[in-house]
Amino acid sequence: MQNEIIERLIEQFRTLPGVGYKSAQRYAYSIIEGSKQRAENFSHAILEAKSKIGFCKTCGNFTDEEICPICKRRNHKIVCVVKEPKDVISMEKVKDYEGVYHVLFGTLSPLENRGPDDIRIRELLDRVGSEGVEEVIMATNPDVEGDATAMYISKLLKPLGVKVTRLAQGVSMGSDLEYADEVTLSRAMEERREIK
Amino acid sequence: MQNEIIERLIEQFRTLPGVGYKSAQRYAYSIIEGSKQRAENFSHAILEAKSKIGFCKTCGNFTDEEICPICKRRNHKIVCVVKEPKDVISMEKVKDYEGVYHVLFGTLSPLENRGPDDIRIRELLDRVGSEGVEEVIMATNPDVEGDATAMYISKLLKPLGVKVTRLAQGVSMGSDLEYADEVTLSRAMEERREIK
């Protein structure tokens, strides 16, 4: 009974990650009830982002230039390896990090049939081989796939004589031990530090 | 640190109801990572819906015609009053309902400063006065605002000699009494029916 023009807009919203029919319908109705100007701005923002945003030739992150602003200005001796562009935004909260990034666009996943050639590992090895990189920080997520990917990549990097590190894992600042899961607690115990 | 073209797209997604920054960012990245064709289809669907969809002159529901298909074909002696267009989609699940609708586009809400002149009550009174309506079914939501709106409208309609009804309230089919809230149970008791 839904009008087919509305149905087409709902279908477009449903292509967004994690959006079901009811949310898509709510979004579509909000466009129809909103102003003409807003619909035009929205429509234009989609086309502009798709046409102008590409990938940085060095780190792979989204950018509208050939080389992204981070790669242009920062220290290439330290490379922080992340799974996705949004992880760059997260890591940038660490104010005193002055190195650059390498975006893998995925992690190794036998279940989803994603192997080493499907993520940007080759490009990372090329960078480390040619740019005089001294340290590679593996900042993939602290989960099974992220850990496996970090281990796999570190084995390929070590013969190149580069230092490979991994983000520390443990209990979160401000959290309550009562609610920490046992894997997190075990890691925190294993990686405990001496107080000096 | 986010690119400003991407930021603009994120801001557009954030204008959708219930979408926060992280979801908007995920949607924006999905557009950038998706195909050019998909971005064009999405952009076009927004413009098309906004430019072609208007309001039915009779019931107020969304339509791309002057009079919507439901108003064109169905019995105007029974009018079901709903809060929003999506409620028409829900009510249409009642397969043997052959009447038409009236969309209020809101309910009375002193808290949100929305009074009788801000929703389509005037238009409903005009319809009932001129179209030979025999029954008006108040199908606003079974919540405080929906109930108050239904009561308010029914008081205006009764002098016009029309029958005004309200959707029955009670326990849901297939639900478990253990999990029914006390207001629902009280209503179900008050409105209990004799088994014949």
Q: What is the predicted ipTM?
A: 0.82
Interface check for B7 against chain A (CB to CB < 8 A): the answer is: no
What pLDDT score does A93 carry? Answer: 86
Rounded-to-integer distance, Cα B182 and Cα A83, Å:
48
pLDDT bucket at B173, cuts 50 / 70 / 90: confident
Rounded-to-integer distance, Cα B77 and Cα B89, Å:
20
Average pLDDT, chain B: 92
Q: Flag if A5 and B52 touch (Cβ within 8 Å).
A: yes
Q: What is the pTM of this model?
A: 0.82
Among partner residues B27, B29, B84, which is closest to A85 by beta-carbon distance?
B29
Residues of A in contact with B80 (CB under 8 A): none
Interface check for B66 against chain A (CB to CB < 8 A): the answer is: no
Give the pairing of strands A135-138 and A75-82.
Answer: parallel
Interface A-B, measured as beta-carbon pairs within 8 A, has a size of: 144
Residues of B in contact with A23 (CB under 8 A): 18
Q: Flag if A34 and B15 touch (Cβ within 8 Å).
A: yes
What pLDDT score does A129 carry? Answer: 85
Shortest distance, CA B190 to any CA of chain A (angstroms): 33
Q: Which pair of tokens denotes residue A35?
A: 């102003």
Rounded-to-integer distance, Cα B8 and Cα B28, Å:
9
Question: With 80 as the cut, is the pLDDT of residue B131 above it?
Answer: no
What pLDDT score does B170 carry? Answer: 85
Average pLDDT over residues B86-112: 91
Rounded-to-integer distance, Cα A14 and Cα A6, Å:
12
Average pLDDT over residues B154-175: 88
**Tens digits of pLDDT across chain A (196 residues):** 689 999 999 999 999 999 999 999 999 999 999 999 999 999 999 999 999 999 999 999 999 999 999 999 999 999 999 999 999 998 988 888 999 999 999 999 999 999 999 999 999 999 998 878 999 999 999 888 999 999 999 999 999 999 999 988 888 888 888 888 888 888 888 888 777 7
What pLDDT score does B143 carry? Answer: 87
Interface check for A8 against chain B (CB to CB < 8 A): the answer is: yes
What pLDDT score does B1 carry? Answer: 64
Question: With 90 as the cut, is the pLDDT of residue B106 above it?
Answer: yes
Interface check for A51 against chain B (CB to CB < 8 A): the answer is: yes
Residues of A in contact with B56 (CB under 8 A): none
> What would the pLDDT profile of B6-34 be if each residue is shown by its tens digit?
999 999 999 999 999 999 999 999 999 99
Residues written for chain A:
196
What pLDDT score does A1 carry? Answer: 64
What pLDDT score does B154 carry? Answer: 93
More confident call, B182 vs B100: B100
- State the Cα angle at A145 between A139 and A146, rounded to 5°: 5
Question: With 80 as the cut, is the pLDDT of residue B194 above it?
Answer: no
What pLDDT score does B39 carry? Answer: 97
Give the DSSP H or E segment for A26: helix A21-33
Which of A91-95, B107-111, B144-148, B171-175 is least confident?
A: B171-175
Rounded-to-integer distance, Cα A118 and Cα A152, Å:
14
Which residues pair with residue A80 across a beta bridge?
A101, A137
Alpha helices, H only, chain B: 4-14, 21-33, 36-52, 69-73, 85-91, 121-130, 144-157, 182-190
